[in-house]
């Protein structure tokens, strides 16, 4: 759970607790180190608790008299642009690129985001052009088809917002760029230096590995992914590597991006989780 606020032990929080219960805000009030601590399940609920506390506990209307407060979900969406700006920003860029490229059907637009630029001969260059350094990252925004886009966007939303709410937007941005660089480079090297590839999936497997290893070393409510989800994603990774998915007509799979992204994410998650665990012990 997430600590919303602390207050003196002698302060009567009964009106606040009653109001929160009447509005369906899941919370727990505990005594810790001579103070009262209010715990909630997410940042949206924490914002509600802090706002109500700042208004004054005694001024809260009784549950029978109070107008219905917005649900925690409604509160979250109102503040999403402040809580998870990087998650939303990456998804917005991905959507814009999907529109510009016609989901990968407009070749003239697609080559603007490929790992290597287009040569006058009409083929992709065999080596990256470091004067166009952004191409090392931009393939993560390319998607080929609605299902490809929808699957990756949903998973980036799920994993990205967890990391951003736990560790902040700059950390998520750094992870996205670093894992994107690793997975894009690995796929380019593996696929013969001049093939066309794209998608957020390498980054997604990196974020999955990060959350998984971090959670094992320093458990927290944000990275507590269902065991079945992790098994499903790893099973899909192995299935794609067998080549069966491609044979069934689902298109070419960027296996090198998936594996390298996952490995990078696991490494970063292990280091970050170990450091956090050490801080908790101290």
Query: Could you list the active site residues?
Result: 201, 258
> Rounded to whole angstroms, how far apart are CA atoms 100 and 110?
8
What stretches of the chain show up as alpha helix (H) in DSSP? 14-22, 43-55, 72-83, 85-100, 107-110, 146-167, 169-190, 201-217, 227-242, 244-245, 255-281
Looking up tokens 């109001």 gives 19
- Residues for the chain: how many in total? 282
Q: What is the CA radius of gyration of the chain?
A: 23
Structural tokens at position 89 = 């920003």
Residue 162's CB is within 10 A of a number of other CB atoms, namely 22
Structural tokens at position 247 = 């044979």
> Rounded to whole angstroms, how far apart are CA atoms 25 and 20?
5
Sign, CA torsion 247/248/250/254: negative
């Amino acid at each position: 759970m997430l600590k919303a606020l602390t207050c003196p032990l002698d302060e009567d929080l009964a009106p606040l607790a009653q109001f929160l219960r009447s509005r369906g805000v899941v919370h727990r009030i505990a005594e810790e180190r001579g103070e009262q601590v209010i715990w909630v399940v997410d940042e949206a609920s924490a914002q509600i608790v802090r706002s109500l506390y700042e208004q004054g506990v005694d001024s809260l209307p009784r549950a029978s008299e109070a107008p219905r407060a917005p649900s925690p979900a409604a509160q979250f969406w109102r503040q999403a642009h402040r809580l998870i700006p990087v998650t939303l920003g990456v998804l917005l860029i991905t959507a814009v690129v999907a529109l510009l490229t016609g989901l990968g059907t407009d070749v003239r637009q697609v080559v603007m985001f490929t790992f290597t630029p287009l040569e006058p001969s009409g083929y992709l260059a065999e080596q990256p052009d470091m004067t166009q350094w952004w191409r090392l990252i931009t393939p993560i925004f390319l998607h080929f088809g609605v299902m490809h886009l929808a699957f990756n966007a949903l998973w980036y939303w799920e994993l990205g917002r967890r990391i951003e709410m736990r560790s902040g937007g700059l950390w998520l941005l750094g992870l996205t760029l670093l894992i994107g660089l690793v997975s894009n480079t690995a796929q380019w090297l593996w696929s013969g230096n001049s093939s066309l590839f794209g998608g957020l999936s390498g980054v997604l497997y990196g974020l999955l590995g990060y959350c998984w290893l971090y959670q094992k070393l320093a458990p927290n409510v944000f990275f507590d992914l269902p065991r079945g989800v992790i098994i499903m994603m790893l099973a899909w990774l192995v299935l794609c590597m067998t080549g069966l998915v491609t044979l069934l007509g689902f298109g070419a799979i960027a296996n090198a991006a998936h594996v390298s992204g996952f490995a990078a994410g696991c490494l970063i998650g292990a280091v970050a989780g170990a450091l956090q665990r050490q801080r908790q012990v101290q």
